A and B are shown apart, each in its own frame.
Chain A
């Protein structure tokens, strides 16, 4: 495997105390190579979302390590982890998480505003991204006027604007019909295959396997299957 962009080593996360304690991640170690879509699958409660939260530096593991570009992220302070997310990670959510008062272009540009680089060049870049994702005619539309597939395209554009090396997608097609779902899957696959991004997708949907080079299956916080294939 080429040098991993993202890795966790022996990560453990538990919720609750005493007898009620649940081990969401029970010592997982995984590495994610660039230019690859990795699909994380598993039944509800298997630890998929917790794994994604740890990979995205949104949740600190109880023990173990999180490495981003070789840098240990587990022991960083909260502001440092926030800055790390801003620089290296793009997020795509099942519920899209767009800002309802902003239009499509503004929703994408918010990523640049947060990074403090919202200049004219970035604005042009956001337009080009939206154009590539087939949203050039919906720049001024507010989220409530967009379909689920369109919202997810906006969310993907937002995730990509600041050129992160890692894209983490949580059930990105779960709220979409099959046609829109397929389009979003192809876009995320293209990000990895042509853009060189490390894409990690959490999904229940077995149709995703067709787009992923690697599939990891979790159960009770453990990896029970980890298989790769040529596309």
Chain B
């Protein structure tokens, strides 16, 4: 299959165009894939960070960010159910944060019981497990937006005094409004939540109990709320953001657009190379080359362009994603993402060669006798 390589190496300009086309497509697919993946992870980050086995939510709630209130007494009902070891509460709402410079910023306040999860951000007193009253934590990616230069720093939340105790990481908001974390008691107070109400109840199942059985039992007992396993609620939230909002769809569309643009460029390039060599394909047919041989030549040409373009695309994307993380804190490019894009990139190259293959196979071999 030397012919495949020498054909594309013979016309370096066309080879470069094809490789650049694939590079662009791979860049778009990996970059948009990183944004999509980061978006999905961010959309369920708070749910995933808790140590809860089950989430009890208001009926029809699709994600963490848009809760409805549920009755506080459900906590006791849930706690008394067989197989339930522990219950915790979370409340959330948008509130106004008055910055140190006097400007106001809308933030998403998240108030959670202390035992909601070890990895859950909580304004704890340094060196101690206790939560500092009237204190909050913010994500490091929002420090500049909130004009925070040092900690602790006094601010106001819904006109009530609060102290930003420090910063956490990995909780950059994908909504534009920064997350602010505090204790459940303070959170309920800042958002003026009635003591008779709460928003999410998180359940830990006793060791040895089946999570699914406890979920079913709770759902049977609590007809006016939804009971989800943590993974199901996480999935539901991601699905909501990807399908019910324009954001996820737009990101997905951009990744697909990358594929289609790359497909168009590579198709055009490979087709032009094939047409340029059409007499050679006629000669191949005349001297006995099978269809399989001709298909292999064209597909190999495509794949060679594809592999070169893929490697270049990944090399270009990695630093760009790294740079993008400065402004989009939740963007995520795990190592497997470029590996996963390898297959669509190769598929793109194979699809791009279909038209060329049809043309090369249909060429009349008897034309070789024309001078």
Identify the A interface with B (CB < 8 A): 49, 52-53, 56, 58-59, 79, 82-83, 85-87, 89-91, 93-95, 97, 99-102, 106, 110-111, 113-115, 158-159, 170-171, 174-175
Which one of B3, B6, B368 lies within 8 Å of A93 (CB-CB)? B368
Q: Which of A106, A110, A111, A158 has the most CB of B within 10 A?
A: A110
A85/B366 in contact, CB under 8 A? no
Instruction: Report the bound CA distance from A174 to B3 in whole Å.
Output: 28
Chain A residues, CB < 8 A from B366: 53, 58-59
- How many chain B residues sit at the interface, stated as a range, is 20 to 34
- Cβ of B172 to closest chain A Cβ, rounded Å: 52
Q: How far is the CA of A49 from the CA of B367 in the complex (A)?
A: 10
Does B7 touch A at the CB level, under 8 Å? Answer: yes
From B1, B280, B289, B368, A82 is in contact (CB under 8 Å) with B289
Name the A residues within 8 Å of B368 (CB-CB). Answer: 58, 91, 93, 95, 97
Q: CA A111 – CA B6 in complex, angstroms?
A: 16
| B311 interfacial by beta-carbon distance below 8 Å | no
Known: A56-B286, A113-B2, A115-B288. A101 touches B371 (CB 8 A): no
Q: Which residues of B contact A85 (CB under 8 A)?
A: 286-288
Q: Is the CB of B371 within 8 A of A111?
A: no
B315-371 contacts to A, CB under 8 A, are: 365-366, 368-371
* Bound CA–CA A83/B289 (angstroms): 8
A52 to chain B, nearest CB (A): 6
Contact of A91 among B7, B287, B370 (CB under 8 A): B287
Contacts A/B (CB < 8 Å), 10 sampled: A59-B366, A79-B290, A82-B289, A86-B287, A95-B371, A99-B3, A99-B280, A101-B7, A102-B2, A171-B371
- Do the beta carbons of A114 and B7 come within 8 Å of each other? no
Residue B291 lies at the interface, judged by CB distance under 8 Å to chain A: yes
What's the least CB distance linking B35 to chain A, in Å? 41
Whether B65 sits at the interface, judged by CB under 8 Å, is: no
Using a CB–CB cutoff of 8 Å, the interface residues on chain B facing chain A are 1-3, 6-7, 9-10, 279-280, 283-291, 293, 365-366, 368-371
Q: Are B10 and A100 in contact (CB under 8 A)?
A: yes
Name the distance in Å between A201's Cβ and chain B's nearest Cβ: 13
Contact of B6 with A102 in the complex, beta carbons under 8 Å? yes
For A175, the closest partner residue in chain B by CB is B371
- Return chain B residues, CB-CB under 8 Å to A171: 371
Residues of the B chain whose Cβ atoms lie less than 8 Å from the Cβ of A91: 286-287, 368
Is the Cβ of A114 less than 8 Å from the Cβ of B293? yes
- Give min CB distance, B276 to chain A, whole Å: 10
List 19 additional A-B contacts (Cβ < 8 Å) besides A58-B366, A99-B6, A170-B369: A52-B369, A53-B369, A58-B369, A59-B366, A85-B286, A86-B287, A86-B289, A87-B288, A91-B287, A95-B368, A97-B286, A99-B283, A101-B10, A102-B3, A102-B6, A106-B2, A113-B1, A158-B287, A159-B287
Q: CB distance B369 to A114 under 8 Å?
A: no
Residues of the B chain whose Cβ atoms lie less than 8 Å from the Cβ of A82: 285, 288-290
A168: nearest chain-B partner, CB-CB: B369
A59 — which chain B residues lie within 8 A by C-beta?
Answer: 366
User: In angstroms, how far is the closest chain B Cβ from the Cβ of A138?
Assistant: 17
Q: A97-B279, A101-B6, A113-B2 are in contact. Are A83 and B290 (CB under 8 A)?
A: yes
Q: Which residues of A contact B1 (CB under 8 A)?
A: 113
The complex places the Cα of A95 from the Cα of B284 at a distance, in Å, of 14
Q: Which A residues are in CB contact (< 8 Å) with B279?
A: 97
B284 contacts across to A, CB distance below 8 A? 110, 114
Determine the distance from Cα of A90 to Cα of B283 in the docked complex, in whole angstroms: 12
CA–CA, A56 and B285, complex, Å: 12
CB of A210 to closest CB in B, whole Å: 23
- With a cutoff of 8 Å between Cβ atoms, the chain A residues found around residue B290 in the complex are 79, 82-83, 114
Determine the chain A residues whose CB is within 8 A of the CB of B283 once the complex forms: 93, 97, 99
Measured in the bound complex, the distance between the Cα atoms of B284 and A99 in whole Å is 9
Nearest CB of A to B293, in Å: 6
- Which B residues touch A53, using CB under 8 A? 366, 369
CB proximity of A120 to chain B, nearest CB, Å: 15
Bound together, the chains give a CA A175 to CA B371 distance in angstroms of 9
Residues of B within 8 A of A95 (CB): 368, 370-371
Q: How far is the CB of A115 from chain B (nearest CB, A)?
A: 7
Shortest distance between the CB of B367 and any CB in chain A (Å): 9
CA distance A115 to B6 in the complex (A): 19
Q: In the docked arrangement, what's the CA distance between A158 and B293, Å? A: 17
What is the CA–CA distance of A118 and B288 in the complex, to the nearest angstrom?
14
Q: Which of B10, B283, B286, B288 has the most CB of A within 10 A?
A: B288
